[in-house]
Chain A
Amino acid sequence: MSTKTIVHTTINGDPVEFLCEPRQSLLEVLRETLLLTGTKEGCNNGNCGACNVIMDGVLVNSCLVLGVEAEDATITTIEGLASPDGLHPLQQTFLEHAALQCGICTPGFLLSAKALLDRNPDPTETEVRYWLAGNLCRCTGYDKIVRAVLDAADRRDRVTR
């Protein structure tokens, strides 16, 4: 089991190479090998969404992707969401709406919400709720999270008009 493979990726815009064992998940590689610990582990079996990252434009549970499957992939993690100009609108609205309490699920929610707004810039409340069904939050009851996502969509809408 100790044979390692070299994997070439682009993570948050930078070329990143890492060595990993076939049995290591992308989540483990991000957290333990690359020390990108903003991606969280809540269940390690795809039920909670805390480990969500965007891989080649698709929202994935990084605990369900093997590290070796990331060869040639382009990955966005929470560490890559803000730009040098400032926070992503979702990060800003999450702060303003108090859409986090403990904050452990927040990175996953932010990536999930970004993936939603990237494909549906003007979602309804119901669309937001169903899109976020794969992300568990135990602190907020989702109320302020849903409001923060809708508000971020509104703000982006205003900017593009």
Chain B
Amino acid sequence: MAMKENGHKNGYRVIGTRPIRPDGVDKVTGRAVFGADLHLPGLLYGKVLRSPHAHARILSIDTSAAEALPGVKAVITAADLPQVADKVKSLGESVGNLRYMSENTLAREKALYHGHPIAAVAAENIHVAEEAVNLIEVEYEPLPVVLDGREAMQPGAPILIQGLRTDELGKLGSEPTNVAAHIQHKRGDVEAGFAEADVIIEREFRTETVHQGYIEPQNGVALWNDDGHIHIWCSTQGAFAVRSQISDLLRAPISQVTVTPLEIGGAFGGKINVYLEPLAALLSRKAGHRPVKMTMTRAEVLKASGPTSGSWIRVRMGAKKDGRITAAQAELVYEAGGFPGSPVGAGAGVILAPYRLDNLQIDGYDVLVNRPKASAYRAPGGTNAAYAAEAVADELAEALGMDPIDFRLINAVKEGDRRADGPMLPRIGYIETLQAIKNHPHYRQPLEGPHRGRGVAVGFWFNWGGKSSVSASVNEDGTVNLVEGSTDIGGSRASIAMQLAETLGIAAEDVHPQVVGTDLVGYNDVTGGSRTTYGTGYAVHALGVKLNEIMRELAADLWDVDVEEVRVEGGVFSAGDRSITFKELVAQGSDTPITASAATHPKDAGPAFAVHCVDVEVDPETGKVTILRYTAAQDVGTAIHPSYVEGQIQGAVAQGVGWGLNEEYIYDEEGHLLNASLLDYRMPTAPDLPMIDAVLVEEAPTPGHPFGVRGVGEVSIIPPPAALANAIHRATGVRMTALPMSPSRVMKAMIEH
């Protein structure tokens, strides 16, 4: 890795360099305070009682023995949680019904999955809390279980929520069902399109439930003070999203809720919804207003936080001999878990997005099953969708005798094309990203050897802009304190501070960013949707422009000239033949302190594309897939801190590889999760992966963003399973149509082939 320190080809001085992140030292010395690290005087420890059944009616709960245990300070059940009405609630990356969110926090009448919270305890220490939880007596009436989305759609399937009716293309159905929604995108005439095709490929795919796998379990400390004010400290992607959920779920005025985000140990979409925080708050109030800390065990994280949907997908694509796709059709069934809200909408938007299509139809179904309620996971819904579509595209290219990259180039969307879900594409760098792989030494060098194969696949992701608020004050020495509200999960303090430094023409190290809570900064949307470096970067640019205006006035005063005469460029203020740097100007002194704030909401974010190429070797005796080489090219707009952009791509690839090769939720027939540990839920380890070559394609800066930033966090999780499947096909002749492509499954497929 070359340490590029000379700045960006576009003349930037800070953007494109690789400074050490502002929070780095705290994180390599153990000094950084993560959610579970907080200690407060009088702290109590909370623990959740969870349903041992995947589907059961709750007949009675007796908490008396738990309450009587010495050291226990409070016990709560759903009776302590306010009843809330139906209300659609948007949390940025996901939309949910408030009533369902409440019932997912604590089950009222029924437990809908193994691990559904039933009650909670606060005690003097965690061991007493655990003992107390085991003393709570719950009488259940077990009910029939349905775990598979397509089975849950059948007539006669066990119904999870009696009152649920299908939202059928916007109209509400009349019968009880597990199908929460049917969505559709349609264009042209698919049957006419297929009639034109020389080759048609149709395949069905199955993917399993997978988890984000962040290393830090969910956690939270709550203090419901004697004056009614609720203070939450936790690891979250968005303090304001937590504040809003706490306010709604506990029916507390928003002005009575303060949320302080502590350092967060990974999230990937899974730390937007609250799980423990409302319970800790209720326990705090009931325990005489003492602070209560709650953390999930790893088994609880896997059983009862929000993984992403397993799915069944059918894709049909037809093309002419020249490679042009004439029609494409997709049907997606996504398992939402116990409550509505799978990412099938996004999956439906992603599945055919890289292709120019005159004739298409996409149908998506959001289906309830007795699994934990799905939540966002990096490019939610995209990876399953692309797994299916990219395998079919690969097979089409093969049937036509075409190079898979050329096939995609022929059909590639570009600026001005309309996406399946409606919006027109702005300037994108997709074709350039395809070319980056086509011209890469990896792709140009033939792969040799037995049992080896190369696969490629592409991915599209929407990206998001969102709302951001920031403020800054200039110190006497010309450094700047930056206050932001965007949780830093992967180095965004650095990328945000660098954009302010670039705007002000000062060094990255001269901006000191701090992430603060809901009382100390204006509203910020969650760190999610690949939005933070884009959206909060947009905000700090506006902030820097305001600071520069103040500085121009200072210079005008200093030189006794009209402010209009003062120009600023790259941190140097000038008028006529006089000039002064930002720092020198600050040193001249100012009558009033130099501060500013900015709030922005860019409506559009440039969508992202990734093109991946992978070489594998399949062990013919075990079915184990070894990755020999991996190259991931991505349309990144402008890379602010290239190391962290590469890191996003490499991390996304690793998650996609895990999804593709090993990770899955394994349930028994009664719906008990059998592999709720990190030994049995098998995420990639260091020896499972090679170096991952991240190719940053900076040919298409995003229009409308001051530095052309394009969100980079998500899209590279989309292609890996498909690229691996395509590589396995070339290595073995077998088309793997189910994830994960674990050794036993690959072996079975090879034997049957």
Contact = CB atoms under 8 A, between A and B. Distances in A.
Contact of A45 (B21, B216, B677): B677
Interface in B1-20: 1, 3, 18, 20
B643 A144 contact: yes
A1 B651 CA distance: 43
A100 B27 contact: yes
A128 B264 CA distance: 27
A40 B34 contact: yes
Contacts of B3: 96
Nearest to A96: B20
B644 interface: yes
A40 B265 contact: yes
A37 B33 contact: yes
A104 to B, nearest CB: 3
A8 interface: no
B34 A138 contact: no
Determine which residue in A31, A100, A145 has the highest number of CB atoms from chain B within 10 A of its CB, and name it: A100
A107 B298 contact: no
A10 interface: no
Given A44-B298, A102-B490, A147 B29 contact: no
A129 B686 contact: yes
B156 interface: no
B686 A103 contact: no
Interface in A94-133: 94-98, 100-107, 110, 126, 128-130, 132-133
Given A97-B643, A141-B653, A136 B30 contact: no
B443 interface: no
B127 interface: yes
A23 B491 CA distance: 38
A100 to B, nearest CB: 6
Nearest to A134: B685
Contacts of B39: 35, 37
B297 interface: yes
B687 A129 contact: yes
Contacts of B491: 98, 101
B397 interface: no
B751 interface: no
A47 interface: yes
B691 interface: yes
Contacts of B646: 98, 143-144
Contacts of A37: 30, 33-34, 36-37, 39
Contacts of A141: 647, 650-654, 684, 689, 692
Interface in A40-90: 40-45, 47-48, 50, 77-79, 81-82, 87
A94 B325 CA distance: 47
A128 B685 CA distance: 12
A120 B298 CA distance: 32
A35, A37, A104, most chain B CB atoms within 10 A: A104
A43 B654 CA distance: 20
B217 A41 contact: yes
A140 interface: yes
Given A104-B266, A138-B266, A141-B692, A38 B647 contact: no
Interface string A21-33: 1010000000100
Interface residues of B, number: 61
Given A42-B298, A101-B644, A138-B214, A87 B28 contact: yes
Contact of A82 (B29, B267, B641, B644): B29
Interface in B645-667: 646-648, 650-655
A94 B490 CA distance: 14
Given A133-B687, A138-B655, A95 B24 contact: yes
Interface residues of A, number: 59
B27 to A, nearest CB: 4
B679 interface: yes
B32 interface: yes
A103 to B, nearest CB: 4
Contacts of B297: 44
Contacts of A153: none
B298 A45 contact: yes
A26 B32 CA distance: 20
Contacts of A35: 39
B216 A143 contact: no
Interface in B682-711: 683-687, 689, 691-692
Which of B3, B28, B266, B268 has the most A CB atoms < 10 Å from its CB?
B28
B25 interface: yes
A78 B333 CA distance: 46
B31 interface: yes
Nearest to A38: B30
B404 interface: no
Contact of B298 (A47, A101, A104, A145): A47
A35 B40 CA distance: 11
A109 to B, nearest CB: 9
B662 to A, nearest CB: 13
Contacts of A97: 1, 643
14 contacts: A44-B298, A95-B25, A98-B644, A101-B648, A102-B214, A102-B267, A102-B490, A107-B28, A107-B30, A138-B266, A139-B266, A141-B684, A142-B685, A143-B692
Interface of B: 1, 3, 18, 20-21, 23-25, 27-34, 36-37, 39, 127, 212-217, 263-268, 295, 297-298, 489-491, 641, 643-644, 646-648, 650-655, 677-679, 683-687, 689, 691-692
Given A102-B266, A107-B30, A144-B650, 16 more contacts: A87-B28, A94-B28, A95-B20, A97-B1, A98-B491, A98-B641, A101-B647, A102-B216, A103-B32, A129-B689, A133-B686, A136-B215, A138-B212, A139-B651, A142-B686, A144-B647
